[in-house]
A and B are shown apart, each in its own frame.
Chain A
Amino acid sequence: MPESHAIAPDHLPSEQRAEAEALFTSIGDGAISTDAFGRITRINPVAQRILGYREDELLGGWFPKKIIAVTPDDTVVNLIDRPISKAFLTGHSISEKMHYRHKDGRIIPVAISVSPILVDNKPLGAIEVFRDITLQEEIDRMKSEFISLASHQLRTPLSAIKTYSHMLVDGYMGKLTATQKQSLRTIIGAADRMNELVSTLLNITRIESGTIAVTPKQVQLYKAAEEVLKELSLPAADKAITLSLRCRDKSRATIKTDSLIFKEIVTNLVSNAIKYTPENGKVTVTVRPRAKDVLMQVNDTGWGIPKYAQDQIFSKFFRAQNIVKRETTGTGLGLYLVKGLVDALEGTIWFKSDEATGTNFYFTIPRKTKQAVRPRRRRPTVSKQTTNESN
């Protein structure tokens, strides 16, 4: 057995050693320490319970071989990709989610935090603390299922309301009076708003629960923005607002990002601009390709954001007083959602606003957005014997 100096070095007074031992043993999460050769020097009772091993089965064993990290589909993780290797490589604490293989073959999702043990700046080993997050993963999965179900259940009746209202307005079910048509248009408008609200709430739930899927593909940002402006041309025309799109170099405006999220961001910013710009105003979208990212700008000649409100503009449910007086239909969720969506694409968002001249929103999208689709969660299964038994 290697000499143990990972948790309570021999040179420490016996009280401190006892204190360190007690802390290690009683900690509520699994804890394993190693020496500088990666051999296990301590394993607390919680770690033994999570992994299904007795202390004597692990002590002195080589950590990467005894504690097997796998992917959700049970492929062994490369040694270099394990948090403990990264902690030694960087010299810093590393926190990651991973899966460990239980002695009986089950795959246990765990949240790991691992730090090098340093004495006089010299690495003497590492200590890894980890938590079984099976329940948390299950709750996340149920939350996702609920979001999907709620989305379907709320949208289906809305589609029926819209479809039949359109059929009535168009005269498919007999001639209507002007007043009846006007009432139906109000119903359609309300159904549209409710549909938007459902989408916004679902997106916010996905962002907050970390389940928003980012699927990067080559996207022509100019074209995507053009499509958004086309979709919003009617509400803009209702207020005689001029919509325009500019791009200095269209050929460099194609990047790898998530098209749907990008369009959702632009849609929110442009529809906000239309909503908060008086009649005969202008809304301009500019696409500026740069070396590492693309800078998007949405400029309006609207009422602007008062100075006092500027710090809170990305907060949930926040609406500035000057806007509430003029426009009563907003929810205060649009910019909160936009901020979350820009974050999901690893971009940044900011704005400049003046109550006299209007508002400029800027956001950047990196040329390559990483894929961030949560892996399909699988229920832990008793499937195969662990290879550790033969070690």
Chain B
Amino acid sequence: MPASNSTSLYDQLVRVTHVYLGPAADRFIARQVQNHLNKPPDQLSKEDLRRLIDWIQVAVSLLTEDSEIVEEYAAQLSKLAQSDGTSKKSR
């Protein structure tokens, strides 16, 4: 894969998810992408993410009882899906 100075959408998705799921974030998102989109994580697009948000939301809803947290997380994902999809690396 060509080197890139930006963080992929997938990485950003994992980073957002890490706030809510901690170290399980990477595995959780990888499984969501694999199961619902059947494509490699590095090929995740904004359109894919929009399709994925509902599934991520229902899956997280069974891991926490706090629906406000779930809605907040889903809102963060929607924001990410609407952004330009890449961001500069902080390191």
Which residues of A approach B to under 8 Å, CB–CB? 36-39, 62-65, 79-80, 82, 84-85, 88-91, 116, 122-123, 125-126
Contacts of B36 in A (CB 8 A): 91
Q: What is the CA–CA distance of A80 and B35 in the complex, to the nearest angstrom? A: 15
Query: Could you tell me if A82 and B62 are in contact, using CB atoms closer than 8 angstroms?
Result: yes
B78 at the interface (CB under 8 A from A): no
Contacts of A36 in B (CB 8 A): 54, 57-58, 61
Contacts of A89 in B (CB 8 A): 31-32, 35, 59
Q: How many Å from the CB of B1 to the closest CB on chain A? A: 26
Contacts of A84 in B (CB 8 A): 62
Q: What is the CA–CA distance of A241 and B67 in the complex, to the nearest angstrom? A: 73
Which one of A63, A91, A122 contacts B35 once the chains associate, using CB atoms below 8 Å? A91
Name the residue on B nearest A2 (C-beta): B67
Contacts of A79 in B (CB 8 A): 62-63
Query: Could you tell me if A85 and B67 are in contact, using CB atoms closer than 8 angstroms?
Result: no
Contacts of A126 in B (CB 8 A): 58
B42 at the interface (CB under 8 A from A): no
B13 at the interface (CB under 8 A from A): no
Known: A36-B54, A64-B65. 15 other contacts (CB 8 A): A39-B67, A79-B63, A80-B63, A84-B62, A88-B58, A88-B61, A89-B31, A89-B32, A89-B59, A90-B35, A116-B58, A123-B54, A123-B55, A125-B58, A126-B58
Interface of B is mostly: helix
Which residues of B approach A to under 8 Å, CB–CB? 31-32, 35-36, 54-55, 57-59, 61-63, 65, 67, 70
Q: How many Å from the CB of B15 to the closest CB on chain A? A: 21
Name the residue on A nearest B57 (C-beta): A36
Q: How many Å from the CB of B86 to the closest CB on chain A? A: 27
Contacts of B35 in A (CB 8 A): 89-91
Q: What is the CA–CA distance of A63 and B67 in the complex, to the nearest angstrom? A: 13
Query: Could you tell me if B65 and A88 are in contact, using CB atoms closer than 8 angstroms?
Result: no
Closest 7 CB pairs of A and B: A62-B65, A38-B61, A88-B59, A37-B67, A88-B58, A37-B61, A123-B58
Which one of B32, B54, B55, B62 contacts A64 once the chains associate, using CB atoms below 8 Å? B62
Query: Could you tell me if A88 and B67 are in contact, using CB atoms closer than 8 angstroms?
Result: no
Given contacts A90-B35, A91-B36, contact A85 B54 (CB under 8 A): no
B32, B54, B61, B63: residue with the most chain A Cβ atoms closer than 10 Å: B61
Contacts of A63 in B (CB 8 A): 62
A-B contacts, 25 of them at CB < 8 A, read A36-B54, A36-B61, A37-B61, A37-B67, A37-B70, A38-B61, A39-B67, A63-B62, A64-B62, A65-B65, A79-B63, A80-B63, A82-B62, A85-B59, A85-B62, A85-B63, A88-B55, A89-B59, A91-B35, A91-B36, A116-B58, A122-B54, A123-B54, A123-B55, A123-B58
